[in-house]
């Protein structure tokens, strides 16, 4: 099983997804700041993975503290939490995981040892739950997949976006291993190419049939009847069912509706933001050079051209057939069905 992140007691180890598919480079660090940078650079990426990595970074900061003051440790951990909160703005799992750890940090403790133990335990619970939740999403979602389906997925909502197994790719894995003869179409996902680099790598490794297309081929491929279902992940779902996910998801949803293709979103309950409105969600704008170049190497345009580089888009609820969570499948109206699963 591909494990994108691991806790080694006094260090965290992760698979540097920026190096895939050319090299399987594992990075180890005992420095919470190094993990914050890894999230910013997208060595660790995908909503659930960044939440887990952030929780482990706080646990590392706790383990490394050599002092004896609960008050001092609490202040230090809060600083680390604030730093991690500033890494990426869109995926709600980051804020969800940090809020959980912060809750533990805020409790009263008899001594530093107890506090460190509790902070580490909470981070590891978040870690373990992620694996379990993805398995459940897979099991539940696989029931919606039929033998012979061709499933289009966008970006990477796989093991490389979670601790292991994945959400959208969890559904695909569970359907495949239950014996359904499915095939996958992966979109390349400009500009960071998560589909071409990561989804293809994961699926080929397990022998799940996959074909790669460029993002602008989706309409044609759908119009030729080559796609029977779409399954994607989410960075944040906001009531009444807006799905914030990798840039390009909205285009695919519009095209799926045009062609009568079911559009499924597979996401853990931790990706559902019950508190904010869609207007208040910040869509991350990344480095313009991601668009001007291919992976920051070759310029494909004039180096000075102005560009837009929103990392995510918003798919409105009317384009979403169902949301697959670890608690069950939600259908519209999502503002009634999702709170019931909570
Ligand atoms: O910018 P990224 O690569 O972190 O974006 C990832 C996505 O948009 C995924 O679809 C989403 O996080 C779900 S991952 C289970």
Question: Tens digit of pLDDT for each residue in 263-322?
Answer: 999 999 999 999 999 999 999 999 999 999 999 999 999 999 999 999 999 999 999 999
Residue 330: burial class (beta carbons within 10 Å; 0-12, 13-18, 19+):
buried
Q: In what order do the strands lie in the sheet with 229-232?
A: 210-213, 183-187, 150-153, 229-232, 263-266, 322-325, 328-330
**Residue whose pair of structure tokens reads 């482990």 in the numeric block:** 56
pLDDT score for 277 = 98
Percent with pLDDT over 70 in the chain: 100
Q: Please give the domain boundaries of the chain with CATH numbers for all domains.
A: 5-135 (1.20.120.420), 144-341 (3.40.50.10470)
Ligand 1 test: best mutation among 54, 194, 268, 313, most atoms within 8 Å of CB? 194
pLDDT score for 1 = 83
pLDDT score for 54 = 98
Distance 40 CA to ligand 1 centre (A): 13
pLDDT score for 26 = 97
pLDDT score for 71 = 98
Cβ–ligand 1 distance for 235 under 6 Å, the answer yes
The residue length of the chain stands at 342
Question: Coil, helix or strand for 133?
Answer: helix
pLDDT score for 164 = 95
Residue 130 among the catalytic residues = no
- Provide the 10 A C-beta neighbour count for residue 23: 8
For the segment 54-74, the average pLDDT, to the nearest whole number, is 98
Model confidence at 238: pLDDT above 90: yes
Cβ–ligand 1 distance for 170 under 6 Å, the answer no
Cβ–ligand 1 distance for 91 under 6 Å, the answer yes
**Residue whose pair of structure tokens reads 């996959």 in the numeric block:** 210
Ligand 1 test: best mutation among 15, 46, 290, most atoms within 8 Å of CB? 46
pLDDT score for 93 = 98
Model confidence at 211: pLDDT above 90: yes
pLDDT score for 172 = 98
Model confidence at 13: pLDDT above 90: yes
Distance 74 CA to ligand 1 centre (A): 31
Q: How confident is the model at residue 207 (pLDDT cuts 50, 70, 90)?
A: very high
Catalytic residue among 130, 149, 235, 273: 235
For the segment 92-107, the average pLDDT, to the nearest whole number, is 98
The Cα–Cα gap between 306 and 279 comes to 25
For the segment 33-54, the average pLDDT, to the nearest whole number, is 98
Distance 300 CA to ligand 1 centre (A): 25
Q: Which two tokens stand for residue 86?
A: 């500033």
The atom of ligand 1 lying closest to the CA of 93 is 12
CB-based contacts of 28: which residues, under 8 Å, 6+ apart? 8, 11, 12, 13
Angle of helix 112-142 relative to helix 47-64, nearest 10 degrees? Answer: 160
Average of per-residue pLDDT values in the chain: 98
Going by DSSP bridges, is the β-strand pair 272-273/12-15 parallel, antiparallel, or unpaired? unpaired
Model confidence at 252: pLDDT above 90: yes
pLDDT score for 126 = 98
The atom of ligand 1 lying closest to the CA of 91 is 12
Question: Coil, helix or strand for 333?
Answer: coil
For the segment 58-71, the average pLDDT, to the nearest whole number, is 98
pTM of the predicted model as reported, rounded to 2 decimal places = 0.98
Model confidence at 2: pLDDT above 90: no
Model confidence at 160: pLDDT above 90: yes
């Amino acid at each position: 099983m591909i494990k994108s992140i691991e806790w080694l007691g006094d260090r965290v180890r992760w698979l540097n997804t920026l190096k895939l598919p050319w090299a399987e480079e594992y990075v180890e660090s005992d420095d919470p700041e190094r993990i914050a940078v890894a999230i910013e650079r997208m060595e660790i990426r995908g909503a659930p993975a960044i939440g887990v990595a952030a929780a482990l970074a706080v646990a590392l900061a706790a383990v490394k503290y050599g002092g004896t003051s609960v008050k001092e440790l609490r202040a230090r951990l809060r600083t680390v939490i604030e730093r991690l909160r500033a890494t990426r703005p869109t995926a709600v799992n980051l804020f969800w995981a940090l809020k959980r750890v912060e809750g533990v940090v805020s409790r009263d403790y008899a001594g530093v040892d107890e506090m460190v133990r509790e902070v580490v335990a909470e981070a590891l619970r978040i870690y373990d739950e992620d694996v379990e939740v993805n398995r459940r999403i897979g099991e539940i979602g696989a029931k919606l997949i039929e033998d012979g389906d061709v499933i289009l997925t966008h970006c990477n909502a796989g093991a490389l976006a979670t601790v292991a197994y994945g959400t959208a790719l969890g559904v695909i894995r569970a359907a495949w291993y239950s014996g359904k003869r499915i095939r996958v179409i992966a979109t390349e996902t400009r500009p960071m190419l998560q589909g071409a680099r990561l989804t293809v790598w994961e699926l080929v490794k397990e022998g799940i049939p996959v074909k790669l297309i460029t993002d602008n081929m989706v309409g044609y491929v759908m119009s030729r009847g080559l796609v029977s279902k779409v399954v994607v992940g989410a960075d944040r779902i906001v009531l009444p069912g807006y799905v914030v996910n990798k840039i390009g998801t909205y285009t695919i949803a519009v095209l799926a509706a045009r062609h009568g293709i079911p559009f499924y979103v597979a996401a853990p309950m931790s990706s559902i933001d019950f508190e904010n409105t869609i207007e208040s969600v910040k869509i991350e704008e990344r480095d313009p050079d991601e668009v001007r170049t291919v992976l920051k190497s070759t310029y494909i345009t004039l180096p000075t051209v102005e560009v837009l580089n929103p990392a995510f888009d918003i798919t409105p609820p009317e384009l979403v057939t169902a949301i697959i969570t670890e608690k069950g499948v939600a259908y519209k109206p999502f503002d009634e069905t999702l709170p019931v699963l909570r």
